[in-house]
Amino acid sequence: MPYYVYRVGTLGVLTMLAEFASFRDASAHAKAVRAADAPGTAGRVKVMFADNELAAEDLLGQVREAPPSIADDD
């Protein structure tokens, strides 16, 4: 399965930047893009491992559940 590098824009608009066969190459590309971006936008480049481009976009669009906290213990 390939690794996809995406830019997550305003309102969750996804733009695929590149596709790689190895995580090392995808991670290096994402870090280079983040370094070239303006300050404050570095968190908007994501690496996703998926079967295809559509699956990667689906995974990026899913809302993640918050991790459990100590306050939840009863």
Q: Which amino acid type is present at position 55?
A: A
How far, rounded to the nearest angstrom, does the alpha carbon of residue 34 sit from its chain's CA centroid? 12
Please report which confidence band the pLDDT of residue 63 belongs to, taking 50, 70 and 90 as the band edges. confident
Q: Does the structure show a pLDDT above 80 at 73?
A: no
Q: Does the structure show a pLDDT above 90 at 4?
A: yes
Residue 3 has phi, psi (to 5 degrees) of -105, 135
Is residue 14 within 8 Å of residue 50, measured between CB atoms?
no
58 Cβ contact list (under 8 Å, min separation 6): 50
Q: How far apart are CA 27 and CA 56, in angstroms?
A: 15
